[in-house]
Amino acid sequence: MDSFRRKTPEEILYSISKLQHGLLKICIGAVSGSGKTYHMLQEGQHLKQQGIDVVICAVSTRQRPETVEQLGNLERVPSIHWFKDGKERKDLNLEKLAERNPEVVLVDGLAHRNRDGARFPTRLDDIQFLLSQGISVITTVNVYELEGATELMRKWTGVAVEETVPTNTLEMADEIQLIDVSPETMLKRLEEGHVNGDSAPALFKRSNIGKLRELALRLVAEDVSDSLEKYRMERGLTGPYGSVERILVSAQYHWNGSIHVRRGQQIAKRLGGDLTIVTFVHPKKTLSREAAAFKRSLLKLVEKIGARFEELPLASKRKLSSMLAHFAAQHQATRIVLGHSKQSRWQELWRGSIANAILKKTKRTDIYFVADRADKEGERILPTKMMAANRGDARYRRLSDHEVERKIGEIRRGRFKVLIGAAPGVGKTYAMLREGNDLQKKGIDVVIGLLETHGRKETLAQVGSLQTIPRAKLEYHGAHLEELDVAAIVRRNPEVVLVDELAHTNVPGSKNKKRFEDIAHILNAGISVISTMNVQHLESLNDAVEQITGVRVRETVPDRVLRMADEVELIDVAPKALQQRMKEGKIYALDKVDQALCHFFRTGNLIALREMALREIADDVDERLEAWERNDSLRGPWRKQETVFVGVTLSTNAERLIRRGFRIAYRLKAEWVVCYVHDHAAVADELKKRIKVLEDLTTRLGGKFVLLSARNRRQIPYLLLNKANDIHSTQMIVGQSRRTLWERLWKRSVIRPILRYGRHMDVLVIADMEVCEQLFPSSG
């Protein structure tokens, strides 16, 4: 629902001016050759089919066959040709374009600089002029042409970028579309001569393409996050939202203040989050010489890491927890980072515990208590890069029989590529079929194993001459159903098979329960697979998706399936464009459109899911780069020898804790263990079923599940601590208590002893999801 707030005169004038202003869409890619022009021309053809007046000017196809094909019968307005350093250049012919006055102009090279004597010095200026004339523009840019990225480009590749656009150019756009391509695809295009790598060979190294790709993903994710924040502010929505972590560090002017900031920085980088530092000082007391020195040191550190900083007045320490909780709510923090208490149990009873007070007052925010390791490790606990054990020159080390067998399996195994999107209808199946046809034109044997067009004519038209393997027919409860015929595909033995909907659950009675298991069988037979899925189907994101959309996704894929893919590419579409497709009946039947637009396909949901997809693929890119032994990481280093320990109950929050534990452990390259302690003499059959569900989820995500027995409830926290110590845990994860006031009076807390006796490890207390849902309904 839109806000009922009356618009200001300035807002009204701005809205009126926008009515006569053209729209700007930017297609952004990691490097030249990623397909930006192809997609721009494809969009132009789509608009023309809708009866919209579209022309092209200063478009460079570089004679790439697929791109030239997309030109079709689009009208071309002649550009102004000139030469610089022996190379032909193209400027927009503004007079001709203004005279022609089309509805939309397609133009390449947003960062282009015009010839001397031109009306405007840059193409960006030309485009702004066209927009002011009511002409919409679709254009292209590479991520390294944004001013903020040029220095990274030079550092990584040694290539200096001469033509750039201001960093805030993306903010000017009404729509941004990321054209995502894996390094493997780019290198293949380079090998086939469709990309010219002679001018900057260092640019087309696999690791450099990967770095620029990750940068593009994260920049677009930031833009999407900003648009989601603006959307929610306009509607008066508050509280945590989207997929980005907002880390708030409470640091004092003390020797451990920098430790807390460093740990907050590490968390923010590894989880791709924002970082804010807050400190509280007495307004009428002058800082001691020591505290002033720590303040100067802390401010230098905050400036160095690029965090936000605020110093707030605090008259009484008893108000610290209330002020911190209020500040966290104001800044929509998802996690508060602070130090463990150093008070004894009696001191906490007499003076009050800040930690306990924070837990009471922040039911919707995770609380992260940083370990006090000074006694064991000294005061330096800064994160260090994990190093592989030195076993000499790996080339000369003899492989074991098991390693030889595994290597042979990898050699024989087919390649696996996954096309992933933020929601249904973004064009994953269309892109899969297009790639299948491209491969077939190159003489590769490609077949369709399973295709779900959902009645979309554009998708069905992409089938072309691709052969389809008939589906296997199965009977279930008197109904005749169809599934992927794995045996028929293996018998046909193509080079590549296209299989839609990776997360699909097979009909009971099938050989495999899930389609990704069918695909694993096909890959092991030496057949390559291209498949599709939506980001909400990833197992570890299940809770986050439900919080955003209010929908619990039942069909999921373990995260390891995405990790085992040789290539992962994002199919990116802006929410408004996706909603337009919905209205045109290209996603669901027209009789279901209104319902979908009011529920799952609400603007807020689509923006949040898109941000989640961008960040997830950015993290996947970073993981792959680190696997290639890259020396530096956009997300920063991880601390050596992390071990994550997750303590769960049998509540409905347990699955969420397990998934959070997995995601944190995966980001930190850590081993992780899930532990449940039951305090009954015997475990009832119903409880055994519940325990089995949690154990299966843990195993599916790659963790280890431990079951312990306690004589009574009071023993539970101490058993958890002992087990965490046994496995040398560096971080314990537990959920916020759901106990009622009556239960708090009669039953001892589990969290308090953990915080008191577990000060040598980090402790993360996860917010109660049910409380979050009551306070913050999914964005509309």
Residue 265 · residue 307 · CB < 8 Å: yes
The pLDDT value given to residue 229: 76
Indicate whether 46 pLDDT > 60: yes
As a whole number of angstroms, the distance between CA 372 and CA 761 comes to: 7
**Residue 377 banded pLDDT, cuts 50, 70, 90:** very low
As a whole number of angstroms, the distance between CA 503 and CA 111 comes to: 40
DSSP states along 59-86:
---TT-HHHHHHHTT-EEPPPEEEEETT
Indicate whether 470 pLDDT > 80: yes
Which has the closest alpha carbon to 758: 730, 736, 716? 730
- Residue type (1 letter), 115: R
The pLDDT value given to residue 261: 92
DSSP states along 165-176:
B-TTHHHH-SEE
As a whole number of angstroms, the distance between CA 539 and CA 536 comes to: 8
As a whole number of angstroms, the distance between CA 530 and CA 273 comes to: 32
Which has the closest alpha carbon to 238: 308, 299, 328, 312? 328
Weakest mean pLDDT among 167-176, 483-492, 629-638, 707-716: 629-638
Indicate whether 104 pLDDT > 50: yes
Residue 35 · residue 28 · CB < 8 Å: no
Indicate whether 631 pLDDT > 90: no
**Residue 67 banded pLDDT, cuts 50, 70, 90:** confident
CB neighbours of residue 169 within 10 Å: 20
DSSP states along 670-722:
-EEEEEEEE-SSS--HHHHHHHHHHHHHHHHTT-EEEEEE-SSGGGHHHHHHH
Indicate whether 771 pLDDT > 60: no
CB neighbours of residue 760 within 10 Å: 18
* Mean pLDDT score, 214-219: 90
Indicate whether 4 pLDDT > 70: no
Tokens linked to 572 = 């990116």
For tokens 């032909």, name the residue.
88
**Residue 125 banded pLDDT, cuts 50, 70, 90:** very high
* Mean pLDDT score, 534-544: 91
The pLDDT value given to residue 739: 57
E runs forming strands in 559-626: 567-571
Dihedral (Cα; 459, 464, 469, 471), 10-degree rounding:
30
Cα-only R_g, the chain: 28
**Residue 769 banded pLDDT, cuts 50, 70, 90:** low
Mean pLDDT of the chain: 85
As a whole number of angstroms, the distance between CA 149 and CA 129 comes to: 26
As a whole number of angstroms, the distance between CA 536 and CA 422 comes to: 7
Indicate whether 332 pLDDT > 80: yes
Distances (CA, A) of 478 to 475, 481, 506, 508, 510: 6, 9, 16, 13, 15
The pLDDT value given to residue 239: 59
**Residue 237 banded pLDDT, cuts 50, 70, 90:** low
Pairing status of strand 671-678 against strand 643-648: parallel
Tokens linked to 654 = 């347990």
As a whole number of angstroms, the distance between CA 8 and CA 14 comes to: 10
Tokens linked to 305 = 């890491």
As a whole number of angstroms, the distance between CA 600 and CA 606 comes to: 8
Instruction: Specify the DSSP element, H or E, that contains 497.
Output: strand 496-499
Which has the closest alpha carbon to 731: 616, 645, 627? 645
Indicate whether 494 pLDDT > 90: yes
Which has the closest alpha carbon to 298: 268, 270, 256? 256
* Mean pLDDT score, 654-663: 92
Give the orientation angle of helix 183-191 with respect to helix 206-234, to 10 degrees: 130
As a whole number of angstroms, the distance between CA 221 and CA 608 comes to: 10
* Mean pLDDT score, 449-472: 89
The pLDDT value given to residue 461: 87
The pLDDT value given to residue 777: 38
The pLDDT value given to residue 670: 85
Summarised one tens digit per residue, pLDDT across range 21-45 is: 899 999 999 999 999 999 999 999 9
Tokens linked to 425 = 């209808």
Indicate whether 292 pLDDT > 80: yes
The answer to pTM > 0.75 is yes
DSSP states along 328-369:
HHHTT-SEEEEEPP---HHHHHHH--HHHHHHHH-TTSEEEE
Distances (CA, A) of 448 to 428, 431, 436, 439, 463: 14, 13, 9, 13, 9
For tokens 């020396």, name the residue.
631
Instruction: Specify the DSSP element, H or E, that contains 743.
Output: helix 741-746
- Residue type (1 letter), 255: W
The pLDDT value given to residue 724: 94
As a whole number of angstroms, the distance between CA 231 and CA 603 comes to: 9
Indicate whether 390 pLDDT > 70: no
DSSP states along 36-53:
HHHHHHHHHHHHHHTT--
Please list, in sequence order, all residues whose beta carbon lies within 8 angstroms of the beta carbon of residue 301, skipping any fewer than 6 positions away: 258, 261, 262
As a whole number of angstroms, the distance between CA 276 and CA 327 comes to: 11
* Mean pLDDT score, 201-215: 88
Pairing status of strand 567-571 against strand 643-648: unpaired
Please list, in sequence order, all residues whose beta carbon lies within 8 angstroms of the beta carbon of residue 390, skipping any fewer than 6 positions away: none
Which has the closest alpha carbon to 556: 514, 596, 599? 514
Indicate whether 391 pLDDT > 60: no
Residue 278: is it exposed, middle or buried by C-beta count within 10 angstroms (0-12/13-18/19+)? buried
As a whole number of angstroms, the distance between CA 302 and CA 253 comes to: 13
As a whole number of angstroms, the distance between CA 230 and CA 234 comes to: 6
